[in-house]
Structure 1
């Protein structure tokens, strides 16, 4: 079946099993371009008049919606015209965003109209009680407004609200979704969800589809903390601004504790108590006017509660952090970490980032082009928003326990994060709870990768406190352990399994940039007259000196290794690679000496071995600085064996026992001893 057939088949299924709940998304696009209203407002109207697959009815419906918007939607530049209409006609229906404040001096609630520009319009208290969000950020509504001016009541606003109806579906039958889901395959249902938020799945890679689904998790999962950083133009904020009337996007980033959490003077809860999702656009600009703002946010992200005054308050809003990465991810990983775009107050706060449940790699999502937006059928946005909201009452966080156990590198925060992501994706893809072991495994792997991405950055910022990044899960039936890796880290492929070639040696040391890197020394020994050539060092003088030290020591002491090593009949060609791109190191002498001996003897060093330590021109061995961090890099690079100077034995207490146990460790006293142990000659 080709793409077109699959699409028309999916459209038919949607209209068959969800009649009146779907809309053709090209209609939304057509009208959206001319009316600056959120998608859920537009599709509320399209759902009323165009929820059919009959072309004539659709065309009639579109005209009606256009007329309603033309006549009743208030454009800011036509506000005076609409106010005049209300006065002349006595009563008029408008569509506008309404925000309410309590005027305590008059003891009345007053409405403010976003586009109409009216302020201080009295509104009946029962509307405020029924729709609390009027008090926090406002709601799009259809309103009947009347006008009555009385000379004796000059201080009273002549505009009156006769009726107010939020533009949201009144109710949702969740069983309708559970039953309808059974008629769709997993891939079809994912396509339906993506089309419902306006995307065309046939144009997207599989991993991109999953990232777009992950953007929806905060809408279905309570207290979910999500971060997405990536290039501009990939639609990071779209879903939180346009798709759900239950999420609010804070642009610009500046906020207060009173606004976000709790206002002590009015005794009213802030945005986290009134919205399902609070999204911060442009994380670089996040600032709190209050000193304790970030601390309160950290408490809330960890527990879903926060203390203000004498009280502890609970709320269920998820937190989303969106921002731009302006350089390549490779460059960022080499020089800094993936949370770098956050403001300075947060950029090195490991406790704050440790509360992130998932990090979506925004750089894997393509910049939006016209073909990425769908023209096919999807759920009416308001319908899907209500579905998302209803799913917040359920939990699938223990679903993975039936088949899998999480590996021992996951601490309590990691476990909570992975369970929440699994729960959120199950709610989206299998809302009726009907899924198999393979389905859970697919979601579990995705959940582990996103949390590991957070942990890898924490390790860069906080060092050994976060050494346990090797996430895995164990199948209960077979006890087989499966590890997951993070694509951009590269990780375990740096030091491949199996025996290497003679003259090839790996070392781990601190590079020019101050970061710890992995270096590979490749030595070729060919017939010649005793020349020594070295490449790959660039202009680093210390590194060149270090390699010269190795060759001079080799010339003077080769006979201590073997009488068969010939200097005058061979040329020695050495190339040094900086595998992590963090800048060349000056700590190459010992590893280069071992590489020269290995090449000359045509005997490889032991498989997956890393040589640690450096030496002076006289053969004095220097101990390894920051041993724990260096061993962590060895493990990440795939090392199984480590050659360590005896002088570093005293520092073993600084290494977490779980990390130390990952290696076969050999100690050496001097350079010759190091050669024999590297080659496996005792």
Structure 2
């Protein structure tokens, strides 16, 4: 174990677990992480390897005997009947049968319904009425002659969660860790190896936890696929509920006026909306209106009576384009459904987490170290919801008075969340506060800057803060620094607004000057040189150097938005590496704001097709956020040995060797320029023919 793991076990004995054990016990049991860690916390909360081994076997046995697989539901039902009663681990929900004036439970995996539940159980666990809750339950079977009476009876039920948490002991134990170690402990607690992340990347991961510690906090994260956006909300806490964006309704989310039953916001700390993005998706206007009211005022209407709730909202979804494309052509909210691509809705978001900065999840990112049992940490975070740390930064810094109350509240709520997570016992320094304050301001600035693009009536805001020296310290977003030529572009004005703008053109502000500079920067940006392209046939002699993909293909793919590579022999590692280098060449050639799709048609490696698939998929993962969409397919059209590259600009490049134009390098220890630079590799003999199709 590492020194950090030793101290974690020393100061949080009984409340931590080795995070890689979850995979060791999960098998094919489709249960949330917090369920497994609850069981591991009962039997494996130790650093003794022998005890861990015994505990793992115990947990596996419990899951084997009591976790209900849907495919084995009939067998478990029979076991309950024969034994009279049996303990099961299942997801259980309860509804009121108004005809019989009784509560009835439904066991999701076990497949039984109308299980009798007494009122005392419902009073103790009201969430059962809203949605499924993972529980350990004793189920009885008593057959009755009356066909209207269900033979199933719920005798005892225990939601899977830690019974008691000593918050004061938690705060005292926190003082034994410095800031860096504490952040690493939190990273390990959510399952990640902190060594695989930089400082900012760690803070962005922890930002996903803020809805669990802040009441009525609204966060959005849009980014590429595979970055773990929904993991925190589905697996991390029994107090969070993840629902599909397409399954949202007013009764489910707020209140059912027909029976007065409160929806998800009344019972859960966090309601997360998965797959929220998608321009083609439709949303009920009444739902959007009630969501906007709730996000702004923390209330919703139940008939004529307004009701309050504390649930935070998290919206997660995938983007269709990379950042420069969105900044040049639309805005960073472009992926939202049209009903939510609304300035009033967007303005109610406290922060925008830049999902494009989060890496695609890879195997080496997962930790083998110790972290909090997620249910223990979830209870701590729930306790912290009742505290307010928002004004603790005021002792060091002052936020600009020129920003609106809504902007200020958003920044303070994000700051409060960060401080609760990292400094629950206080003790933060001015340097600590400034780092978090800049990120909190940036996350709100990202929202406000995009609002100015979406709705010209929103004024631009100067986001800055001052320290004890009184000096203004302005905050910028990362994408603003990276793409200034696009970031400050304005939305097109209608004729009336254009006329008004011309009347006011003498009143130029500092921001408009910056915008002009940005446009000038774009215009002065060097454009890719386009060679004089011609059809022709070229032969390259064996053992030459100085040949690269950029020289052979580069000029002919400039301006293409769709490229199809047909090569039946992209099978082995070195051949797939060639494909990756072709993709790299396209990325270097294209403007960063452009979107290009590259589609590979190849043949299967009959000897190891699984590895081939894995490597090709890894190219697609590596392209996330680059403006390249890489797809591939095994040839099913009988094109045989055809090897060519076609573009939607009309060029076809015919190759006798496909992408396999380089000789195998001589393997030796040390470094070789040929490994990194194609110009320094020796080529095989090959030819290339350029054909202008449709000319």
Is this contact kept in 1: 2:226–2:361, CA < 8 A? yes
Q: Does 2:138 correspond to 1:168?
A: no
1:14 corresponds in structure 2 to 8
Offset of residue 296 of structure 1: 0.7
| 1:346 partner SS | coil
Q: Which moved further from structure 2: 433-442 or 68-77?
A: 433-442
User: Post-superposition shift, 1:581?
Assistant: 6.9
Q: Which moved more, 1:458-467 or 1:425-434?
A: 458-467
Counterpart position of 1:486: 477
CA distance in 1, matches of 2:374, 2:6: 19
What residue in structure 1 maps to residue 276 of structure 2? 283
Match of 1:212 in 2: 205
Match of residue 141 from structure 1: 135
Match of 1:636 in 2: none
Q: 2:68 aligns with which of 71, 74, 80?
A: 74
- Structure 1: distance between partners of 2:77 and 2:272: 34
Take 2:6 and 2:241, find their aligned partners in 1: how far apart are those partners?
34
Aligned length: 510
2:624 equivalent in structure 1: none
Give the CA deviation at 1:494: 6.4
d(CA) in 2 for partners of 1:117 and 1:580? 52
Cα pair 1:112 1:118 within 8 Å, conserved = yes
* SS of the residue 2:340 aligns to: helix
Extract unaligned runs of 5+ from structure 2. Answer: 487-511, 531-590, 595-695
Displacement after TM superposition at 1:520 (Å): 6.6
Change in CA separation of 1:522 and 1:247 when aligned onto 2, cut-off 3 Å: closer
Of residues 50, 54, 61, the one that matches 1:60 is 54
Which of these two proteins has the greater Rg computed from alpha carbons?
A: 1
- Contact kept, 8 Å, 1:284 with 1:341, in 2: the verdict is yes
Q: What is the correspondence of 1:520-599 to structure 2 with a 5 Å cutoff?
A: none
Select 2:429's aligned residue among 407, 424, 436.
Answer: 436
* CA distance in structure 2 between the aligned counterparts of 1:580 and 1:89, rounded to whole angstroms: 66
1:315 partnered with 2:306:
no
The alpha carbon displacement at 1:33 in A equals 3.9
CA distance in structure 1 between the partners assigned to 2:89 and 2:201 by the alignment: 36
Q: Which of 271, 294, 302 pairs up with 1:300?
A: 294
What does residue 336 of structure 1 align with?
330
- The Cα shift of 1:146 comes to 1.0
1:42 to 19, 23, 36: 36
Asked whether the equivalents of residues 15 and 372 of structure 2 are also in contact (C-alpha less than 8 Å), the reply is yes
Offset of residue 473 of structure 1: 0.4
- SS of the residue corresponding to residue 240 of structure 1 reads helix
Mapped to 2, the partners of 1:510 and 1:304 lie a distance apart of: 37
Q: Distance in 2 between matches of 1:509 and 1:180?
A: 49
CA deviation string 1:86-144 (max 9, x = no partner):
00111110000000011111100110011001111111111111111101112100011
**How far has the Cα of 1:154 moved from its partner?**
1.8
State how 1:625-636 maps to structure 2 within 5 Å: none
Cα distance in structure 1, aligned partners of 2:527 and 2:89 = 71
> 1:399 aligns to what?
392
SS of the residue 1:119 aligns to: strand
| Whole-Å separation in 2 of the counterparts to 1:443 and 1:77 | 49
- 1:221·1:424 contact (CA, 8 Å) conserved in 2? yes
Runs of 4+ in 1 over 3 A off after TM superposition: 285-291, 491-495, 507-511, 516-523, 534-538, 579-582
Q: Out of 415-424 and 384-393, give the one that drifted further.
A: 384-393
User: Alignment RMSD, CA only?
Assistant: 2.7
Aligned partners of 1:202 and 1:217: how far apart in 2?
22
**Native 8 Å contact 2:95 2:103 kept in 1:** yes
Distance verdict in 2 for CA 1:141–1:307, change over 3 Å: same
Query: Is this contact kept in 2: 1:230–1:363, CA < 8 A?
Result: yes
1:410 counterpart SS class: coil
Q: CA deviation at 1:302?
A: 0.8
Match of residue 451 from structure 2: 458
Tell me how far apart the structure 1 counterparts of residues 178 and 246 of structure 2 sit (CA, whole Å). 40
Q: Matches of 1:135 and 1:429 in 2, distance apart?
A: 35
Cα distance in 1 for partners of 2:65, 2:293 equals 48
Residues 49, 65 of structure 1: 8 Å contact kept = yes
Segments of structure 1 that go 5 or more residues without pairing to the other structure are 1-6, 496-506, 524-533, 539-578, 583-682
Say if 1:296 and 1:306, in contact at 8 Å, map to a contact too: yes
Please state how far the C-alpha of 1:254 moved relative to its aligned partner. Answer: 2.7
Q: What TM-score results when the alignment is normalised by the length of structure 1? A: 0.71
Q: What is the deviation of 1:228?
A: 0.2
Alignment of 1:407-446 (within 5 A): 407-446=400-439
Question: Which residue is 1:608 aligned to?
Answer: none
Give the whole-Å Cα distance in 2 for the aligned partners of 1:400 and 1:460.
30
Q: Does 1:103 align with 2:89?
A: no
Decide whether aligned partners of structure 1 residues 510 and 178 sit closer, same or farther in structure 2, where only a CA change above 3 A counts: closer
Q: Residues 281, 161 of structure 1: CA spacing in aligned structure 2 closer, same or farther, 3 A cutoff? A: same
Aligned partner (choices 171, 178, 184) of residue 178 of structure 1: 171
Q: Which of 263, 281, 301 is the equivalent residue of 1:270? A: 263
| Structure 2 CA distance for aligned equivalents of residues 357 and 248 of structure 1 | 20
Equivalents in 1 of 2:178, 2:3: separation in Å? 12
Q: 1:328 to 1:396 in 2, by over 3 A?
A: same
3-state SS in 2 of match to 1:466:
coil
Partner secondary structure for residue 157 of structure 2: strand
How far is 1:518 from its partner?
A: 3.6
Q: Distance in 2 between matches of 1:212 and 1:521?
A: 37
Residue 155 (structure 1) aligned to one of 138, 148, 164:
148
Alpha-carbon distance in structure 2 between the residues aligned to 1:106 and 1:200? 53
Question: What is the CA-CA distance between 1:464 and the residue it aligns to?
Answer: 4.3
CA deviations over 1:508-537 (Å, ceiling 9, x no partner): 8999xxxx94457779xxxxxxxxxx9999
The DSSP-based 3-state class of the residue aligned with 1:16 is: helix
Map of 1:194 onto structure 2: 187
> Quick one: distance in 1 between partners of 2:304 and 2:219?
30
1:474–1:482 contact (8 Å) kept in structure 2? yes
Q: Is the 8 A contact 1:261 1:269 kept in 2?
A: yes
Does residue 354 of the first structure (1) align with residue 347 of the second (2)? yes
